[in-house]
Copies of this chain bind each other. A is one copy, B any other.
Amino acid sequence: MKSIMSKMMVLRMENKKEFTAYELMKIVDGELCGDSEKKITGVSSVENPVKNTIVFAENEEYLKKAEKLNADLVITNKNFDAELDLLKVNNPRLAYAKISTLFSDKPFPEEGKASNAAIADNVKMGRNVFIGENAVISDNVILEDGVKIGAGVYIGQNVRIGENSIIYPNSVIENDSILKDKVIIHSGSIIGADGFGYVQDGEKQQKIAQNGSVLIESKVEIGANTTIDRGTNKATFIGKGTKIDNLVQIGHNVEIGENCLIVAQVGIAGSVKIGDNVTIAGQAGVVDHTSIAKDSIIAAKSLVTKDLKSGEFYSGNPAQKHNQELRKEAAVRKTPKLLKKVKKLEKEINKIKKEMDN
């Protein structure tokens, strides 16, 4: 324990990064207006700029705030100007994201195995692997170069984890799962639990064995306490670069494409297919065996109940094209008035009929 802990402290010192404004300009390919030798040691919020840090002003309102609070250096749009040192770029949000990672503490030491980690004899490990306290690495596991395993993580048999992937504390990666390179799994997530599969047998439920696995492609990031079930006979699949938030449920046999964004508490039922670049906003649900074609956006709290075409924005329960949903919603809001109108029409017609009878 002691050796790992002191190693951690040394690394935190080494992590303490410092860049000149000029160096940051080079990294994001921007244009610098101000002192190119100014030392920058971190990122802070434009609402509370810290000395020697860079802040991000998305619009002119935020830029004025930065001016008022005398920020040391501001990433902003090429068209904006202010009485401050500015780092002007075409895409300030992207430049800010890149710079923010420069100052981010590495969450684990470069290397080391906690003495109380339980590592099976036949585990294969690359260089620069870190394994935290009480982690369990089962039989036949392969951990490639640079893998970091947090404290209390359980890795089941035959799991393979690719280069530089990070598994945060108390997560569970069940047997036979495959994670490619640079995957991040946050704390408490469960990868590879049994899918929810039963057949009615009289009044009882007969379990269908879940003999498949989970395959997670490179650069996928998965939030905290999320669950991704193993396939029934094949692998549940998460495509390259897809990002999944906290408390998300991904059912068995689901296939998700590349570069998707799946926001917190979304539920994707079994055997759903999702194309590339799909965004599913928070608390939305997708019914089993449906598909969502690439480049679609699903609004928060929607329920997808049938196959959806590519490149559209969908919302509602059941989800339909957002325009239609908006029209429906607008009409519904007019229904109380409509009721009154129709009542009035009925009266008028009765009056007319009476008059005509006379």
Contacts and interface: CB of A to CB of B under 8 A. Distances in A.
Interface of A: 1-2, 5-6, 8-9, 12, 42-45, 47-48, 91, 93-94, 96-98, 100-101, 103-105, 107, 114, 116, 118-122, 132-134, 136, 138-139, 150-152, 154, 156-157, 168-170, 172, 174-175, 186-188, 190, 193-194, 196-201, 203-211, 219, 221, 223-227, 229, 232-234, 241, 243, 245-247, 249, 251, 258-259, 261, 263-265, 267, 269, 276-277, 282-283, 285, 287, 300-301, 303, 317, 327-328, 330-336, 338-339, 341-342, 345-346, 348-349, 352-353, 355-356
A301 B263 CA distance: 17
Contact of A172 (B107, B168, B246, B261): B168
A342 B339 contact: no
A287 B241 CA distance: 24
B339 A345 contact: no
Contact of A186 (B101, B187, B190): B190
A172 B134 CA distance: 14
Contacts of A105: 175, 211
A300 B246 CA distance: 20
Looking at A170, A233, A276, A346, the one whose CB has the most chain B CB atoms below 10 A away is A233
A152 B190 CA distance: 13
Contacts of A251: 264
| A-B interface, 9 closest residue pairs, ranked by CB to CB distance from nearest | A104-B209, A100-B209, A331-B335, A193-B224, A190-B224, A154-B169, A45-B233, A118-B133, A172-B187
A152 B139 contact: no
A300 B327 contact: no
A295 to B, nearest CB: 10
A315 to B, nearest CB: 10
Contacts of A261: 198, 205
A246 B233 contact: no
B342 A338 contact: yes
A144 B120 CA distance: 28
B247 A45 contact: no
Looking at A8, A119, A285, A346, the one whose CB has the most chain B CB atoms below 10 A away is A285
25 contacts: A1-B119, A8-B139, A42-B211, A43-B233, A96-B208, A97-B201, A101-B207, A103-B209, A134-B136, A190-B224, A194-B223, A198-B243, A227-B247, A247-B249, A251-B264, A264-B267, A267-B282, A283-B283, A285-B301, A331-B336, A345-B345, A345-B346, A348-B349, A352-B356, A355-B356
